[in-house]
Amino acid sequence: MVEERRVAGTTAGAAPGAEISIRGLDKSFGTLKAVDDVSIEIPSGEFLALLGPSGSGKSTVLMMMAGFEVPTGGQILIDGQDCTRLPPQKRNIGMVFQHYSLFPHMTVLDNVAFPLKMRGVGRAERRRRAGQALEVVRLSGYGDRMPAQMSGGQRQRVALARAIVYEPRLLLMDEPLSALDKNLREEMQLEIKRLHVELGITVVFVTHDQGEALTMADRIAILRGGQIQQISPARELYERPANLFAAGFIGEMNMIPANWDGSCLMLGQGERILPPESAFVSQPVQGSTTLAIRPERLGVVPAGTPGAVRANLTEIVYAGAGTLIIARLDDGTEVRARVPSAGLPPLSAGERIGLTLPPEAMLVYGEIAA
């Protein structure tokens, strides 16, 4: 049944997902530039997450893709067609919002069938296709219920079914899981990813939740101040952030002030570190800089261990399989290490320890952390 749906919405030989080209997109609201020269190429069938803090422009980009906002400048091409100023109803795009937007006076089946009714599809056909869409989201048999009789996760599934019932090649999702509790949110993440794989359509997903983006997306675009900071697969984004903002926004990160003379780093307490070729060094780097390293990549060793950075242990937080070590370097910089609890020697707050920095985990930026 899924394979039938994939063929029905496309021309013969066409991929099920749309190709998107966003070129130099701008959007201003008065004197505020919400989106500033954003360009993204999205291949057919990709799951792209737009990630960023509030006010970064990610939802505005999505609303322009959907046709609900008109760009100030730039182009949006869907399968090669310029849709920049095309009205939403002519774009054949599925849309899922944060708050479901279901009609409370309609049954679940009628809610799902509503887009087909607006497209002039006959009653029998739209009920058949709405029933198929409910099967895809695992709600077969729920068609006669009212939205108020459904849980939050079920209502979100209904919204998904309504978005895919007319077989769009592009599905846009604007923070669709933020209203759900943690367990439901994690369940729906897997459900949406399953749907993406089964249907093969292109998905653009807006979120402010980094974990959500890392879990679901093929690639992640980080926005800040209306501009793209980095577009990369999740692993590359986590292990090799392009700049200090990306490094600090994705996951936990220690930011250690340092000086770079082109060949080695000098930390605030005078310790010299010679990063080998395996370290990531952004360009240009000279003088005051920042050494960034993930807490899980730091090691804790006895004080005085050759090559280890000196620190004072300030706090130990036991969390079962892992232990959080909070320490201060001699220049006062606080750092965190997350280490396995097994084999960790007894430690006490106030004692001197050493911290090891694996060269391949070092990230050196020609910027100073705030």
Quick: pLDDT tens for 197-208.
988 999 999 999
| pLDDT computed for residue 15 by the predictor | 59
Most confident of the ranges 87-91, 99-103, 202-206, 316-320: 202-206
**CB contact set of 128 (below 8 Å; sequence gap of 6+):** none
CB 266 within 8 A of CB 258: yes
The CA R_g of the chain, rounded to the nearest whole Å, is: 25
List phi, psi (to 5°) of 84. -55, -40
pLDDT digits (tens, 9 = 90+) for 321-362: 999 999 999 989 999 999 999 888 888 899 999 999 988 898
For residue 3, the model assigns a pLDDT of 39
Domains and CATH numbers, the chain: 2-239 (3.40.50.300), 253-365 (2.40.50.140)
What pLDDT score does 4 carry? 40
Cα 315 to Cα 298, 323, 327, 334: the distances in Å are 16, 10, 7, 11
Gap between the Cα atoms of 47 and 25, Å rounded: 20
> What percent of the chain has pLDDT above 70?
94
Quote the pLDDT of residue 284.
60
What residue type is assigned to position 362 of the chain?
M
Token pair of 79, please?
């399968």
What confidence tens digit (pLDDT) does each residue in 228-251 have?
999 999 999 999 999 999 999 998
**Average pLDDT of span 42-59:** 96
Q: How far is CA 51 from CA 104, 139, 220, in A?
A: 31, 30, 7
